[in-house]
Amino acid sequence: ARRRHTMATPYLIRPFEHGADIVVHSATKFLGGHGNSIGGLIVDGGSFQWAGDARYPMMSQPRPEYSGMVLAETFGNFGFAIACRVLGLRDLGPALSPFNAFLILNGIETLPLRMQRHSDNALTVATHLSKHEAVSWVSYPGLETDRYHALAKRYTPKGAGAVFTFGLKGGYEAGVKLVSNLQLFSHLANIGDTRSLIIHPASTTHRQLTDAQKTAAGAGPEVVRLSIGLEDPADLIDDLDAALEG
């Protein structure tokens, strides 16, 4: 199993303990944590048996450009990590600059402090929005009423992360207005910044889709996405309340 592990980070979930073989992170989000660098990580858990598996010829068949070497046999349980370097990195050449690596490593040093605060703040804000008269629904697994709450308690007992969506009773127009009324939230397509971020997908990232396509993608006209930051949650609630009223 492969897991894309961007939202929870290793602070909230340790996927190898739940059966993942390969974990992929975007370091652009919570790992770096400050919205200042683009990067990513692939972690090979070393548990997948590639050798002899015809479904994965790049791993289990001889590689002509390496004199017939079979990566899964030569490198054993770190074969996939080597394949990423010699078949991907070497040929395509993506490389993080030293300065961006420094910023991401600096971010990772405070990951546990930040993720706990992100999650605690998100639960406070989601709880508030779930009782707000302008809000029709909130989708956040940290809420007891959420359909995924039991899974969240099992897999992310320390908190359900910082990113969630909610629906506005006022639909598309209310979404556009909320974003422009807010003072403290930044209007950005990114997630996982120290600062709280908001986006109304229907009028921005997903605007080229038809209404039916938007709804199918979870980006219907009334949907708003938040990435909750490290601010005082009372300030975030005040900002949302004033913007929803205004």
CA atoms within a 13 Å half-sphere pointing along the CA-CB vector of 184: 21
Q: Does 26 bind ligand PLP (CB under 6 A)?
A: yes
SS3 199: strand
Which one, of 39, 19, 21, lies nearest residue 29 by Cα? 39
The C-alpha angle with vertex 186 and arms to 185 and 187, in degrees rounded to 5, equals 120
Q: How far is CA 62 from the centre of its chain?
A: 36
In the complex, the smallest distance separating the C-beta of residue 205 from ligand PLP, rounded to whole angstroms, is 8
Q: Does 41 bind ligand PLP (CB under 6 A)?
A: no
Binding-site member from 190, 203, 204, 215 for ligand PLP (CB under 6 A): 190
* Segment interacting with ligand PLP, rule: CB under 6 A, options 22-30, 43-51, 152-160, 161-169: 22-30
Residues 6+ apart with CB under 8 A from 180: 187
Nearer to ligand PLP, 37 or 119 (CB): 37
Q: Does 38 bind ligand PLP (CB under 6 A)?
A: yes
* Segment interacting with ligand PLP, rule: CB under 6 A, options 59-67, 90-98, 187-195, 234-242: 187-195
Greatest CA separation for the chain: 68
* Segment interacting with ligand PLP, rule: CB under 6 A, options 25-33, 52-60, 209-217, 228-236: 25-33
Q: Does 234 bind ligand PLP (CB under 6 A)?
A: no
245-to-134, 150, 199 alpha-carbon distances in Å: 9, 33, 18
- 136 neighbors 169 (Cβ within 8 angstroms): yes
Residues present in the chain in total: 246
Binding-site member from 9, 28, 119, 194 for ligand PLP (CB under 6 A): 28
Q: Does 40 bind ligand PLP (CB under 6 A)?
A: yes
- 103 neighbors 34 (Cβ within 8 angstroms): yes
Binding-site member from 1, 41, 105, 189 for ligand PLP (CB under 6 A): 189
* Segment interacting with ligand PLP, rule: CB under 6 A, options 85-93, 146-154, 179-187, 189-197: 189-197
CA 9/CA 144 separation, integer angstroms: 22
Q: Does 195 bind ligand PLP (CB under 6 A)?
A: no
- Summarize as ranges the residues that interact with ligand PLP (CB under 6 A): 26, 28-29, 38, 40, 189-191
